[in-house]
Amino acid sequence: MEIPFGLTVRLVRENDLPAIFRIEERSFTYPYPLGYLRFLAKVNPYTFLVAENQSGVVGYLIADIRYRSEGHIISIAVREDERRKGIAKLLIRSVTSEFRKLGVRLVRLEVRAGNLAAINLYRSMGYEEVGIMSGYYRDGEDAIEMVAKTEDAG
């Protein structure tokens, strides 16, 4: 996959959090509070990734490792004016690569049942639907649980 011009993916830094919070607020009905993002950055230093270009932070992906061998994508978002440029795909590929280095074999995520663009992105990257989590989101919407083996994802 071609990396969009001028884009880099790196580990999160403390000074990225205000920009991440702005993207979070514009992307989700119930955004994570800034303090929780700060906590996630502290406890996931190798799997909280930031995509940036000359305009600053344009996207992020937060993930953690459960049970030593299962990765979990907690949240991913891209700034509205930078969407549909391959940034989310690059972030997912980057965290999958990091997961492989850390011995993770399976990656899990939840996605809103109505978010067809995200579901199609995940399918295109090797994720399969394994279940429905009824009323998962605060507003009552169901989540689709999806998984991929790290050697197949990307």
Q: Is the pLDDT of residue 80 over 50?
A: yes
Q: What integer pLDDT is reported at residue 26 of this predicted model?
A: 95
Taking only the tens place, the pLDDT of each residue in 100-126 is 998 999 999 999 999 999 999 999 999
> Which residues, in sequence order, are CB contacts of 60 under 8 Å at separation 6+?
12, 16, 20, 23, 48, 49, 50, 51, 75, 76, 77, 91
* Average pLDDT over the chain, rounded to an integer: 92
Q: Which two tokens stand for residue 142?
A: 């169901």
On the question of pLDDT at 133 being above 90, the answer is yes
Mean pLDDT throughout 22-48?
95
Cα gap 36→74, rounded to integer Å = 12
pTM listed for this prediction: 0.92
Token look-up 């391959």 returns 86
pLDDT at 154: 61
Domains present along the chain, CATH in parentheses? 8-149 (3.40.630.30)
Let me know how long the chain is.
154
pLDDT at residue 69, as a whole number: 85
* pLDDT at site 1: 47
